[in-house]
Amino acid sequence: MGKFENKVVIVTGASSGIGEATAIDFAKEGAKLFITGRNKERLGNAAKKCKAAGAEVDVDTYEKLFHANLRAPVFLSKYALPYLKISKGCIVNVSSVSGIIASPNLVPYSMTKSALDHFTRGFSSECAPFGVRVNSINPGFVETRITDSMYTSDESKKKGFERSKKKQPLGFINSHQISEGIIFLCRSEMTTGTILSIDGGMILSS
Ligand SMILES: NC(=O)c1ccc[n+]([C@@H]2O[C@H](COP(=O)([O-])OP(=O)(O)OC[C@H]3O[C@@H](n4cnc5c(N)ncnc54)[C@H](OP(=O)(O)O)[C@@H]3O)[C@@H](O)[C@H]2O)c1
């Protein structure tokens, strides 16, 4: 029996990439999943993969970034808190190394992530008296739709990927290596307020 058997896990942005991998891996752990995404086709495919992995699935330039990357997790946390107090559940925010190190051309994005990190710290201290933990996972470069969409041509993508590879001495990270960290933070009963980088050494080499 998985550690998350009969636990309800909400994974936002689960129609691709890290969110999708996380949902699938929680499914393997026996969780009951609630997943969200805007693209119905991709979300449906993610749901099928979660089902195959064993889960029950219920599907359903500044401003945009702050909306999606900060407002959404902050208010989801606020509205989930009463339930988390009862279940002694936890929150893992998906941030980025960009919230920790300066990334040229990614300043608005980085600002949302560093604000999210501070939300994680502050909210974790507010929630600790209720036995609710709040942590953050901060990935380095992971090849997903988001990183593909940063480039306008195959040539620029190739060059961009080569640059990113040089910044990560341990090499590229895959989505499941991120979800491994997310699951660790959910399991680790005495860990809260932690900003955990899984970055292939990017912070070290910057
Ligand atoms: N990939 C990396 O190198 C990397 C590095 C550091 C941090 N991260 C973080 O990891 C998280 C997941 O990214 P990913 O790499 O897995 O990217 P991805 O493959 O593009 O997945 C993004 C997910 O978020 C959903 N989404 C995007 N914009 C949204 C919006 N405005 N409102 C609601 N949902 C939205 C997408 O679904 P729909 O389009 O169906 O809505 C999709 O499910 C992000 O927070 C990203 O900042 C990624």
Last residue of a domain, one of 11, 38, 60: 60
Same domain, 114 and 35: no
Same domain, 123 and 33: no
Same domain, 99 and 124: yes
Q: Using a 6 Å cutoff on CB, does residue 147 contact ligand 1?
A: yes
Which residue's C-alpha comes closest to atom 23 of ligand 1? 13
Q: pLDDT at residue 58 above 80? A: no
Distance between CA atoms of 206 and 202, rounded to whole angstroms?
6
Structural tokens at position 109: 């994005």
Band of the pLDDT at 51, cuts 50, 70, 90? confident
Same domain, 54 and 3: yes
Label the pairing between strands 133-139 and 56-59: unpaired
Same domain, 72 and 122: yes
Same domain, 174 and 113: yes
- Give the CATH number of the domain where residue 120 resides: 3.40.50.720
Same domain, 18 and 50: yes
List pLDDT tens digits, range 81-131.
Answer: 999 999 999 999 999 999 999 877 788 899 999 999 999 999 999 999 999
Same domain, 75 and 173: yes
Q: Using a 6 Å cutoff on CB, does residue 146 contact ligand 1?
A: yes
Q: Residues 41, 53: contact at Cβ < 8 Å?
A: no
Same domain, 66 and 129: yes
Q: Residues 123, 162: contact at Cβ < 8 Å?
A: no
Which residue's C-alpha comes closest to atom 30 of ligand 1? 68
Which residues form the domain of 138? 61-206
Ranges 30-44, 64-78, 146-160: which has the least confidence: 146-160
Distance between CA atoms of 53 and 31, rounded to whole angstroms?
10
Which residue's C-alpha comes closest to atom 27 of ligand 1? 13
The total number of structural domains in the chain stands at: 2
> What pLDDT does residue 59 have?
45
Same domain, 26 and 10: yes
> What pLDDT does residue 2 have?
67
Q: Using a 6 Å cutoff on CB, does residue 73 contact ligand 1?
A: no
Same domain, 56 and 140: no
Same domain, 132 and 88: yes
